[in-house]
Every structure is written in C-alpha cells, then in structure tokens.
Amino acid sequence: MEKIIERTIEIFSLSAARYFLIAGVPFCLFYLLLPEKLSKFKIQQKLASRKDFIREILHSMQSTFVFTCIAMVLLLTPIRQYTMVYSHINDYPVWYIPVSVAISLVIHDTYFYWMHVFLHHKKVFKFAHLLHHKSTNPSPWTSYSFHLAEGIIEGLVLVVIVFTIPIHRIGIVLFTMVAFAINVYGHLGYEVAPKWFRKSWLFGLLNTSVHHNLHHTRFKGNYGLYFRIWDRVMGTEHPEYVKTYDQLQEKRFGSR
C-alpha cells in the first residue's frame, strides 16, 4: 500500500508538471509575451480574467489527481492482470507502439464524442459539465478544468483502451501526452493552423481550435475531440463553423 501511495504521488507530480509545461508554454507565449503580435490569430477578441485562469488551474489539478488514481488502479493493482497492458517491449514489434497510440486516439475520439453528447443532456449538463463551460473564452488552462464527476467520466477512457487493445506503458504515456497537447490546442483561444490546411483534405477530417472554441461560445454542436467525423456523420457540427474559420483565415492571411 505504501508503494502504491508513493507511486501515486510520483505520477501525480509528473502529470502536474506536464500540465504546467504543455499548457503553460503556449499560455505564456500567446497571452503574456506576444498577445499584440498574435492578435490576428485570436479567435475571440475579449480576454478571460485572472479569476478564470485560477479556477481552471485548480480544477485541472483535481482532474489530474483523478486521472492519476484511475491509472494507478489499472496498473498497480490486481486489475492489471485482466488488462491488455504488456510490460516487455519486445512482446510486440517496436513499431506497434506508435500504432497503438494512434488507435488509442481513435478510440478516445469516439468515446469522447458520445460522452460529450451525454454531458450536454439537460439533466446532466448543470450537474457535471457546466463548470467546464464557465470558460466561454477558453485558454490552455481550460483543458482539464472539469467537475469531479466529469473528470471521472473523462478518465475512464483509459479503462476502455487497456481492455480493448494491447498497449505498452510507454504507449499509455505517449497517448496521454499527445491527447493533452491536442486538447491544449483546442482550448488555445488562437488559431494556428497553417494557411494550406484550409484547402487540404485534412480540413475535412481534423478539428481546429476554432471548431472547439465555437462549442464553448454556442454550447451546442462540435462535440468531437480530434476529428470532425462523428459531428459530420451525426449532423451535430455547428453550421457556422466553416464560415467562422474562413473569416479568421481572411483576417490572418488576407482574402487571397
């Protein structure tokens, strides 16, 4: 038990450090150092308050602790033997590690879409999801700002993953880092996608910061996390998304 507590503290500390690094660097760049030079990239011209940032950071630490506890239960208790987590890196080809991360992201996106739709049900929203939507003008700190109940539901995706596909602990770490980095981009409050992205096939597949920012301002539609697929298939993509993206695109790069 003492070992589990020590490992939990260690993993929580590393996860908190990851949060402040991956969310903190873009926050410092976009919100503190270069806000004027990057103003054309800003999705909403209004600014969130210091009070908002503090609230988001505190709830993000709560969510980080919840995610840590879920990981510890799966990896350091007898439950581990029933999962598909493997310890020896040579049990599968090394190239499978990035493949498992990619598969995990696809699983997560599907899980997140339907979970997100559920959280927007009128009987659930005020209890579990309203806290996240207090950030109508999201910043990188918003990424893990969840009510305790939502944090638990969000974190349970790891349960789905480890019982669905073989995955090494390195794959789990990479998945959580990539997922969080994309989450920070979605809540950045600035659009940084390159100009060519709009004309590429990727625009029809991948979400952007504008995509999720619109969800925070309108509260409905754009429920996907990484991909536009489920929103487009289910007809839940906000009808003003492409128009809003193009308006910001013109502001950033001009009409050509």
Position 226: which residue type? Y
Which whole number is the average pLDDT over 192-208? 96
Residue 95 placed within a domain: yes
| Residue 243 within any structural domain of the chain | no
Taking Cα atoms as reference points, which of 224, 231, 236 lies closest to residue 106? Answer: 224
Integer Cα distance of 85 and 164 in angstroms = 10
Helices 209-218 + 169-186 axis angle, to 10? 60
Q: Provide, for the chain, the percentages of residues in helix, strand and coil under a 3-state DSSP scheme, each rounded to the nearest 5.
A: 70, 5, 25
**Lowest-pLDDT range of 3-12, 159-168, 193-202:** 3-12
Q: Tell me, what's the pLDDT at 256?
A: 60
Q: Facing residues of 168 across strands?
A: 86
Q: What percent of the chain has pLDDT over 70?
A: 99
Place of tokens 């013109």: 250
* Residue, of 77 and 101, whose pLDDT is higher: 101
Among 193, 201, 195, 189, residue whose Cα is nearest residue 228: 201
The pLDDT value given to residue 3: 74
Q: Give the pLDDT confidence score for residue 6 in this predicted structure.
A: 86
Domain-located, residue 45 = yes
Q: What are phi and psi of 181, to 5 degrees?
A: -60, -45
- pLDDT the model gives residue 221: 94
d(CA 134, CA 245): 23
Q: With bands split at pLDDT 50, 70 and 90, how would you rate the model's confidence at 79?
A: very high
CB-based burial label for 154 (10 Å; 0-12, 13-18, 19+): buried
Q: Dump pLDDT digits (tens) for 224-241.
A: 999 999 999 999 999 999
Q: HSE on the CB side for 38, CA within 13 Å?
A: 19
Residue ranges making up the domain that contains 167: 2-192
- Determine the Cα–Cα distance for residues 188 and 37; give it in Å rounded to an integer: 16
Q: Is residue 206 part of a domain?
A: no
Total domains in the chain come to 1
Instruction: Express each pLDDT in 85-122 by its tens digit.
Output: 999 999 999 999 999 999 999 999 999 999 999 999 99
Q: Give domain status of residue 117, yes or no.
A: yes
| Residue 256, domain member (yes or no) | no
Query: 31 vs 18, 28, 42, 60, 88, CA distance in Å?
Result: 19, 6, 10, 19, 43
Task: Examine residue 255 and state whether it is found in any structural domain, yes or no.
Answer: no
pLDDT-derived band of residue 247, with 50, 70 and 90 as boundaries? very high
pTM (2 d.p.): 0.94
**Mean per-residue pLDDT of the chain:** 95
Mean pLDDT to the nearest integer, 52-61: 97
pLDDT, mean of residues 205-215: 97
In a domain, 53, yes or no: yes
Q: Rounded to whole angstroms, how far apart are CA atoms 101 and 154? A: 17
